[in-house]
Amino acid sequence: MGRIKHLPRCGPPTRMKAGVFGRHVLRACQAARCWHLSLSISIPLLVILVQPANLFSAPQPSTGNASVGNAKTAQAFANYVRATEVRNHSELQRGTGLLWIDRLPEAARKRSYTDLAQGGVELQQRRKLESGSEFHCPDCMIHHWEGVVFIPGARLDDVLRVLEDYDRHAEYYAPDVARSKIESRDGEHFRIFLRFRRQKVITVVLNTEHDVVYTRDSASRAHSRSTATHIAEVENPGKPNEREKPRESDNGFLWGMDTWWRMEEKDRGVYVQSEVVSLTRNIPVGLSWMVGPFVTAVPKESLTFTLEATRKAVLARLRATNSSGLVR
């Protein structure tokens, strides 16, 4: 697990308007005189760690409408998601090289398949568009990761039963998913609710809603497409005065998320690939030493956990089925 190491000793505390988080930080500095904060975050889709609230307030232009910056951010994210969707559609239509590791040079591809067979998770970060050009997002950060895991002995239907069992995702992906339920279903079209919960110094809770569509491409292949239609940070969760913070006053832990899943049954098991594009606020100037490692590490760790938890849930159901003597 990644850690922040060898940070400079904290100097005398200074006055800062960082709310609860800031007070915890100052007390930690006074008591320990150093930082040793481990990163350990994981959700099926994504949660970003805690950051000082006032330092992440919505961008406020010196003149004009304060929502202009948010509009530009939203448009930039939409453009990036659209480009990613076009690439995914093209790859699925082609029907070959379904997994991203299939496009690696031969030696690297063989190593990846060997590692997957031994229980590993293969990950890569996408930093550019398919055209090779850099992408600029004003006042925000776009995180783009994709990973693959292998589930030995599983069939495609075994994986789909777990992924589509949203009412039990709070069990499969605990403790980071606190609540989960299917709000509506029409065939393979789902509308779902997930409450994400993460505790690190203080607790962050997010209410999210997602529109998900599954497609069975063949007897051995399937894919899905998920879009977050609602994301809101929850204030005072579980209390009578619980409420969702309005976007203009939230902490920017998660602003947007789109996910593409692919599944292929072969080699006496199922390969499961998940590709996630998420949006967060940018790192404030001067705080990259503290916030940067969190923001940049969380998407990778979240995806790793999601894939490993999916494999664990599928294998657990297979063991339960086999022990009961039921026919798959």
274 with 147: CB under 8 angstroms? Answer: yes
> Which among 30, 4, 1 is positioned nearest to 288, based on CA atoms?
4
pLDDT at 195: 96
Quote the mean pLDDT of the chain.
79
Mean of the pLDDT values across residues 269-293? 81
Tell me, what DSSP letter sits at residue 54? G
> Which among 85, 95, 103, 147 is positioned nearest to 308, based on CA atoms?
147
* Banded model confidence at residue 304, pLDDT cuts 50, 70, 90: very high
> Up-side HSE of residue 322: CA atoms within 13 Å toward CB?
9
Helix (H, G, I), strand (E, B) or coil at 114: helix
Domains for the chain: give ranges and CATH numbers. 1-38 (no CATH), 54-324 (3.30.530.20)
Query: Model's pTM, two decimal places?
Result: 0.77
CA angle 132, 137, 141 (to 5 degrees): 100
Helix (H, G, I), strand (E, B) or coil at 9: coil
Instruction: Between 205 and 127, name the one with better pLDDT.
Output: 205
pLDDT at 206: 92
Which tens digit of pLDDT belongs to each residue from 59-69?
A: 333 333 223 24
pLDDT at 8: 35
Which tens digit of pLDDT belongs to each residue from 33-83?
A: 332 333 333 333 333 333 333 334 433 333 332 232 478 888 999 999 999
Which tens digit of pLDDT belongs to each residue from 75-119?
A: 999 999 999 999 999 999 998 889 999 999 999 999 999 999 999
Which tens digit of pLDDT belongs to each residue from 158-195?
A: 999 999 999 999 999 998 899 999 999 999 999 999 99
Q: Got the DSSP string for 247-277?
A: GGGS--S-SEEEEEEEEEEETTEEEEEEEEE
Place of tokens 């949660």: 47
**What Cα–Cα distance (Å) separates residue 18 from each residue in 24, 66, 152?**
9, 22, 48
